[in-house]
């Protein structure tokens, strides 16, 4: 108790002495400001939930509203938001990993601290993209994007009309394997090349005549006309005839009544005054009078005869005059298969195209089938220009 009293007295005496030594008037005050610090409250509240960042991927690629693009080269762009830094990306297209270029440089984006971009080559149709981002803590985030690639339409500067006929189901002869497939596939190919297509299969005599007449009437409003025929064809007295499925001539004298004279097509084209006319005849089977009407062999010499092409026209035959053509072992006849392949290549004249077809058919037939053309074109014609 005595020591406590002595301490109180000491403090009072010291305060009195300080008061006596301090001059009267305003007293200066020294102040300072410490830097702002963030209080770590984790030790005080170890069980408190920590704030989290929702990981996500936002696609930034430029596309049309329907997610369709017209170029096969596509830039996949995305912004990745994640709780931890991203250490690796993986882009898949149709479940196949897309290899990144070794010299890939990621450009900084002020609006996205973790930006991704990679160029890929699309295939025609739907492309399923999947981007996976892997983070430092082992977590990952993924997102899908479907992109449809459609080739731009072929540049066509003139109106084009085609008549396509494929006859196979003959009533009085052996049925053929490929002509219906040939006609169906030619329709698809020609539409892609800007043709309006009149398409028929297994026509009888009346049906063929009507189709040709309608084609001739409509052709007057077009600049390019094309006629494609796959099926039986014969020659008689130097004239070529296309065989309807119901034709059953009993003698040579009946052929002109039972069948369709191929010159009928050329006449319709001349009357329409179209600038360019194309006739393709994959019809060089052997003569129906032998009652087989199947595609010929090397010993046959009963194919189609050569025809004169009116000015501005080209007539293409599956094989050379007087020879017969092979029906083919696949979906299409040998000649039409080569023609469909050649039509896919842009920027070649029609003469170059048929040269390519001839080379392919010779190769596939071991030089036994030689396609042939007669032409009176006065300028270059392109099926497609790009």
Residues 6+ apart with CB under 8 A from 269: 216, 219, 225, 227, 277, 279, 310, 313
Task: Tell whether 304 and 272 lie within a shared domain.
Answer: yes
Does the pLDDT at position 152 exceed 70? Answer: yes
Residue 354 lies in a domain: yes
Domain stop point among 149, 177, 195: 149
pLDDT of residue 219: 96
What would the mean pLDDT of 166-178 be, rounded to a whole number? 86
pLDDT of residue 64: 63
Q: Tens digit of pLDDT for each residue in 181-233? A: 999 999 999 999 999 999 999 999 999 999 999 999 999 999 999 999 999 98
3-state SS assignment for residue 28: coil
Q: What is the mean pLDDT of the chain?
A: 80
Task: Tell whether 141 and 261 lie within a shared domain.
Answer: no
Q: Which domain holds residue 316?
A: 160-375
Q: What are phi and psi of 114, to 5 degrees?
A: -125, 80
Name the residue with tokens 């050569």: 306
Please provide the distance, in angstroms rounded to a whole number, between the alpha carbons at the two ends of the chain. 111
Domain stop point among 100, 115, 149: 149
Q: Compute CA distances 324 → 43, 179, 342, 366, whole Å.
A: 95, 15, 22, 15
Domain stop point among 127, 149, 171: 149
| Residue 340 CB neighbours (<10 A) | 17
Task: Tell whether 94 and 64 lie within a shared domain.
Answer: yes
Residues shown for the chain: 386
Task: Tell whether 120 and 179 lie within a shared domain.
Answer: no
Number of structural domains in the chain: 2
Task: Tell whether 279 and 170 lie within a shared domain.
Answer: yes
Does the pLDDT at position 323 exceed 90? Answer: no
Closest C-alpha to 233, from 325, 164, 161: 325
Task: Tell whether 220 and 368 lie within a shared domain.
Answer: yes
Q: Where are the alpha helices (DSSP H) in 114-204?
A: 179-192
Residue 31 lies in a domain: no
Q: What are phi and psi of 230, to 5 degrees?
A: -125, 130
Q: In the chain, pLDDT over 90 holds for what percent of residues?
A: 43
pTM of the model: 0.61
Tally of CA atoms within 13 A in the half-sphere of 167 that contains its CB: 30
Task: Tell whether 182 and 128 lie within a shared domain.
Answer: no
Does the pLDDT at position 93 exceed 50? Answer: yes
pLDDT of residue 155: 63
pLDDT of residue 102: 52
3-state SS assignment for residue 207: helix
What would the mean pLDDT of 30-45 be, rounded to a whole number? 44
**Alpha carbons 372 and 355: distance in angstroms, whole number:** 9
Residue 115 lies in a domain: yes
pLDDT of residue 340: 96
pLDDT of residue 325: 66
Residue 36 lies in a domain: no
Residues 6+ apart with CB under 8 A from 180: 166, 168, 201, 202
Angle formed by the axes of helices 263-272 and 205-218, nearest 10°: 20
Residue 340 lies in a domain: yes
pLDDT of residue 108: 61
What would the mean pLDDT of 363-381 be, rounded to a whole number? 89
Does the pLDDT at position 18 exceed 80? Answer: no
Name the residue with tokens 């882009």: 91
Q: In the chain, pLDDT over 70 holds for what percent of residues?
A: 75
3-state SS assignment for residue 97: strand
Tokens of 348: 């070649």
């Amino acid at each position: 108790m005595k020591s406590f009293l002595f301490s109180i007295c000491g403090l009072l005496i010291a305060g009195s002495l300080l008061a006596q030594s301090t001059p009267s008037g305003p007293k200066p005050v020294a102040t300072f400001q410490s830097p702002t610090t963030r209080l770590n409250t984790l030790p005080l509240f170890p069980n408190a939930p920590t704030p989290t960042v929702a990981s996500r991927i936002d696609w930034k690629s430029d596309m049309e509203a329907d997610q369709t693009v017209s170029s096969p080269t596509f830039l996949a762009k995305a912004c990745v938001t994640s709780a931890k830094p991203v250490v690796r990306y993986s882009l898949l297209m149709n479940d196949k990993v897309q290899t990144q270029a070794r010299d890939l440089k990621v450009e900084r984006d002020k609006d996205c601290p973790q930006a991704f971009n990679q160029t890929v080559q699309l295939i025609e149709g739907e492309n399923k993209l999947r981007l996976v981002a892997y983070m430092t803590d082992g977590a990952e985030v993924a997102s899908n994007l479907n992109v449809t690639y459609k080739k731009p339409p072929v540049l066509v500067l003139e109106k084009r009309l085609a008549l396509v006929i494929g006859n196979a189901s003959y009533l009085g002869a052996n049925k053929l394997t490929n002509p219906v497939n040939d006609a169906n596939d030619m329709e698809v190919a020609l539409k892609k090349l800007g043709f309006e297509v009149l398409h028929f299969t297994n026509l009888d005599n009346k049906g063929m005549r009507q189709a040709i007449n309608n084609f001739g009437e409509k052709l007057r409003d077009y600049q390019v006309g094309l006629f494609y025929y796959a099926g039986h064809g014969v020659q008689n007295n130097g004239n070529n005839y296309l065989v309807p499925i119901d034709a059953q001539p009993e003698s040579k004298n009946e052929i002109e009544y039972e069948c369709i004279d191929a010159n009928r097509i050329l006449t319709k084209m001349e009357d329409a005054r179209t600038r360019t006319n194309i006739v393709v005849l994959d019809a060089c089977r052997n003569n129906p009078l032998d009652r087989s009407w199947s595609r010929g062999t090397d010993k046959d010499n009963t194919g189609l005869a050569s025809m004169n092409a009116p000015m501005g026209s080209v007539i293409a035959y599956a094989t050379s005059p007087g020879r017969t053509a092979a029906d083919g072992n696949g979906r299409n006849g040998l000649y039409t298969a080569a023609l469909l392949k050649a039509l896919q290549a842009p920027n070649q004249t029609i003469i170059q195209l048929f040269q390519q077809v001839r080379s392919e058919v010779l190769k596939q037939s071991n030089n036994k089938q030689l396609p042939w053309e007669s032409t009176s074109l006065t300028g270059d014609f392109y099926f497609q220009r790009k």
